[in-house]
């Protein structure tokens, strides 16, 4: 299952869809919504998020297990450095490995100060590169302290994330290099909204991985797509989210449409987003689609 996903990532078209577990003691409603729309037939795999914005949600590893068992397609489960020390990280990896959850998206995590839980403190023993290093140790049959396992874990496939925009893209290139160096087989970008931006990211990624002559040379860049169908979303991403660039023409078109009606606003946003999705598919058909559980929107974009 996982080898097929990695083969697709390296040599073919590749599409994963993000799912965000809810603030409730079940993941079944999300699975039912996916199944109702038949999205399992349109994607190669899934991701599950890990308490994004430090807000309490259903556990990402258990969500991954449910998704994987229901649809028999691989899931990339997110693990955040914010909530776990080295012991907890490795313990979770061991347990997940036994249940065949073996693709892990390593994140540093949003600040604990954003949490909806009172007096929450972040762990943050290091950034996401530490988790990538831990996974490398596991794949070599030992824990991070160098102690061999009596029974080695099955191979784990590590993923990472990167911003999609910076005034100096060399800074992103250095971060890409570090993540590839630490074993990331795929690096997912924050949402891209400009095809020229995507081309520059790919160019710098090629520079970043060109120094590697082993298996790391096959690491792949995965372009993130987050459809915008509301003006306020475009304005928020443009003004308040570092590392994302929303072209002014998107805001101009959405502004004009919003003055007509909410329906026109959505129609224009959907057209802009779908056109971008198709452009990226032609340029580099390795895509991670994020819709904040708006699965009908995902279906509208995929077609």
Note the pLDDT tens digit of each residue in 196-216: 999 999 999 999 999 899 999
Average pLDDT over residues 149-174: 96
Domain residue ranges in the chain: 2-302
Question: How many Cα neighbours within 13 Å face the side chain of 255?
Answer: 7
Question: How many Cα neighbours within 13 Å face the side chain of 290?
Answer: 15
Owner of token pair 């965000």 = 20
> From CA 130, how far away is CA 92, in angstroms rounded?
15
- Across the chain, mean pLDDT equals 96
Q: What is the pLDDT of residue 128?
A: 96
Q: Is the pLDDT of residue 242 over 90?
A: no
For the packed helices 248-258 and 231-240, what is the interaxial angle rounded to 10 degrees?
A: 150
> From CA 218, how far away is CA 12, in angstroms rounded?
13
Q: Is the pLDDT of residue 241 over 90?
A: no
Percent of residues, the chain, with pLDDT higher than 90: 96
CA-atom Rg of the chain in angstroms: 19
Class of 2-302 in CATH: alpha beta
Q: Is the pLDDT of residue 96 over 90?
A: yes
Q: Are 18 and 47 in contact (CB under 8 A)?
A: yes
Burial tier of 87 (Cβ tally within 10 Å: 0-12, 13-18, 19+): exposed
State pTM to two decimals.
Answer: 0.96
Beta-ladder partners of 223: 287
> From CA 246, how far away is CA 249, in angstroms rounded?
8
Q: Is the pLDDT of residue 156 over 90?
A: yes
Beta-ladder partners of 45: 16
User: Which element (helix H / strand E) includes 154?
Assistant: none
Average pLDDT over residues 113-132: 94
User: Which element (helix H / strand E) includes 286?
Assistant: strand 286-289
How is 84-132 classified by DSSP, letter by letter? --HHHHHHHHHHHHHTT--EEEEE----GGG-SSTT-----SS-HHHHH
Instruction: Provide the pLDDT confidence category of residue 303 given band limits of 50, 70 and 90.
Output: confident
Owner of token pair 């520059």 = 200
* Per-residue pLDDT tens over the stretch 1-41: 899 999 999 999 999 999 999 999 999 999 999 999 999 99
DSSP state of 215: G
Q: Are 187 and 161 in contact (CB under 8 A)?
A: yes
Q: What is the pLDDT of residue 56?
A: 96
Whole-Å CA distances, 298 to 71, 162, 179, 193, 228: 17, 22, 29, 16, 11
Q: What is the pLDDT of residue 240?
A: 86
Q: What is the pLDDT of residue 113?
A: 92
Q: Is the pLDDT of residue 146 over 90?
A: yes
Closest CA relative to residue 219, chosen from 170, 162, 265: 162
């Amino acid at each position: 299952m996982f080898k097929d996903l990695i083969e697709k990532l390296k040599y073919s078209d590749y599409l994963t869809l993000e799912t965000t577990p809810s603030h409730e003691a079940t993941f079944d409603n999300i699975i039912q919504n996916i199944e109702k729309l038949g999205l399992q037939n349109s994607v190669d795999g899934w991701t599950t998020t890990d308490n994004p914005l430090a807000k309490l949600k259903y556990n990402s590893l258990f969500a991954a297990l449910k998704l994987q068992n229901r649809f028999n397609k691989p899931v990339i489960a997110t693990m955040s450095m914010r909530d776990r020390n080295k012991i907890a990280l490795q313990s979770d990896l061991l347990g997940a490995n036994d249940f065949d959850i073996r693709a892990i998206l390593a994140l540093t995590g949003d600040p604990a100060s954003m949490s909806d839980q009172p007096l929450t403190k972040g762990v943050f023993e290091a950034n996401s590169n530490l988790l990538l290093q831990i996974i490398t140790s596991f794949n070599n049959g030992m824990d991070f302290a160098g102690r061999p396992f009596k029974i080695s874990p099955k191979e784990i496939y590590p993923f990472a994330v990167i911003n999609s925009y910076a005034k100096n893209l060399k800074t992103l290139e250095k971060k890409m290099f570090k993540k590839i160096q630490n074993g990331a087989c795929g690096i997912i970008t924050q949402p891209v909204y400009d095809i020229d931006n995507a081309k520059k990211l790919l160019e710098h990624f090629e520079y970043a991985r060109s120094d590697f002559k082993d298996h790391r040379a096959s690491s792949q860049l995965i372009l993130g797509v987050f459809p915008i169908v509301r003006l306020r979303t475009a304005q928020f991403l443009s003004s308040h989210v570092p590392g994302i660039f929303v072209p002014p023409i998107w805001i101009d078109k959405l502004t004009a449409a919003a003055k007509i009606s909410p329906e026109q606003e959505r129609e224009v946003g959907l057209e802009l987003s779908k056109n971008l999705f198709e452009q990226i598919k032609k340029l580099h058909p390795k895509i991670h689609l994020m819709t904040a559980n708006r699965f009908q929107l995902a279906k509208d974009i995929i077609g």
